[in-house]
Amino acid sequence: MRRRRYFWFLLLIAPCAAWGQQLPQYSLYMLNPYAYNPAYAGTAGTLLAHGAYRQQWSGLAGAPESQYLDAHVPMAFLRGGAGIRLENDKIGVHRTTRAVLHYAYHLDIGRTGLLSVGVGAGYVQYALDGDKVRTPDGVYEPGGSFTHNDPLFPEGKVVGGAPSVEMGIFFRQQQFELGAALMPAYAPVLSITDQGRFRVRLVPQYVGTGAYRISVSNQLTFVPSFLLKFDPAATQVEISGVFRWRENTFAGSSFRGLASAARDALALFGGFRITEKILFAYSYDIPLSSLANAHRGSHELLIRYDLGKPVGAGRLPPVIYNPRFPGI
């Protein structure tokens, strides 16, 4: 009996561990490189703030939901920039929240190049809501009272946490930019010796990003980009293309999962300036994976605030091709 109970516990934890080892997915990554690389902090030369919400696999019970708020700004007296990111990721009965502070050191390379090296430190918290768990031997009354009839399952919320460290490097040269980062993800690990207790362990994940701006005409720009996420267990590649018209409107698409085994979705997205300083963007993911028949795609919203001018004694980077839409 105990062996069977342990099997069911592992069955509950396995999806969370698998997802916990992957960073949250955002289709609009090209609009906010800071979300995947602390070295981007302050490189736009002005204050940028973002808020995003993603509903993944709409219509599928327990599907992931992710949100983040972030802001970063140049700080000339520190020869770089600083930022903060708050993130929440929920999958079924599992929830992970993060809060991270970042600093990036900026170094001019020649007349038009910029090299930035960033580091972040913060805290991650994992929670499992045992009230929403259902076991084969459990008794669940209509009035809300219940028992799992299994000593390994918590009958309330259990929480674990751990410190977080992130690192990254970012380079920009005229129309070209490239970044790489170590962005720790986390997985909950059961401590068998103490019922309902969890610890959170570090699962390093590596991220690569790149973009190149191509001027098609005086009013139209095309920006191809990529996002690469990998760890020892899996690799995922996403390639994107964005057309920007008159600095006011943009539209594009992404394809996620180049290998047949990793094929995930085709994302269609677009956006526009609501005001001189506020950008709105929306993305819809058309499912291409084996789960395509089980859900109705994924939705993502993003709002960005761009101050649009140097902050304090800071200065803008040597070359800015798109002051209203840095990052695309």
In a domain, 168, yes or no: yes
More confident site: 231 or 90? 90
Question: What value does the mean pLDDT take over residues 262-274?
Answer: 91
- Give percent of the chain with pLDDT exceeding 90: 50
In a domain, 163, yes or no: yes
In a domain, 107, yes or no: yes
More confident site: 126 or 66? 66
**Phi, psi angles (nearest 5°) of residue 98:** -135, 145
Q: Which residue has the tokens 């997985």?
A: 187
Check residue 14 and give its pLDDT: 40
What mean pLDDT, rounded, does the chain reach?
81
Check residue 150 and give its pLDDT: 63
Residue 149 has pLDDT above 90, yes or no: no
In a domain, 321, yes or no: no
Could you list the residue range(s) of the whole structural domain that residue 137 is in?
Answer: 2-306
Residue 202 has pLDDT above 60, yes or no: yes
Q: What pLDDT, in 10s, does the model give residues 22-75?
A: 688 899 999 999 999 999 999 999 999 999 999 988 877 778 899 999 999 999
Closest CA to 21 of 202, 238, 236, 262: 202
Check residue 136 and give its pLDDT: 62
The Cα–Cα gap between 297 and 284 comes to: 7
Segment 135-139 long-range contacts (CB within 8 Å, at least 24 positions apart):
135/8, 136/8
CB atoms within 10 A of CB 7: 10
Q: Which residue has the tokens 């600093």?
A: 103
Q: Quick one: pLDDT band at residue 241, thresholds 50, 70, 90?
A: very high
Check residue 155 and give its pLDDT: 66
In a domain, 207, yes or no: yes
Most confident of 3-12, 82-91, 131-140: 82-91
Q: Quick one: pLDDT band at residue 315, thresholds 50, 70, 90?
A: very low
Q: Quick one: pLDDT band at residue 137, thresholds 50, 70, 90?
A: low
Question: What value does the mean pLDDT take over residues 232-247?
Answer: 88
Q: Name which of 84-88, 107-111, 145-149 the model is least confident about.
A: 145-149
Residue 49 in 3-state DSSP? strand
CATH number at 111 reads: 2.40.160.40
Number of domains in the chain: 1
In a domain, 319, yes or no: no
Residue 295 has pLDDT above 80, yes or no: no
Question: What value does the mean pLDDT take over residues 190-194?
Answer: 49
Question: What value does the mean pLDDT take over residues 8-19?
Answer: 40
Most confident of 15-29, 45-59, 120-134, 250-264: 45-59
In a domain, 320, yes or no: no
Residue 311 has pLDDT above 90, yes or no: no
CB atoms within 10 A of CB 31: 23
Check residue 138 and give its pLDDT: 64
- All residues at 6 or more sequence positions from 279 whose CB lies less than 8 Å from its CB, including other chains: 31, 271, 272, 273, 302, 303, 304, 306, 324, 325
In a domain, 328, yes or no: no
Residue 158 class from Cβ within 10 Å (0-12 exposed, 13-18 middle, 19+ buried)?
Answer: middle
The Cα–Cα gap between 59 and 69 comes to: 25
**What is the rounded (10 degree) CA torsion for 195, 197, 202, 205?**
80
Residue 201 has pLDDT above 80, yes or no: no
Residue 144 has pLDDT above 70, yes or no: no
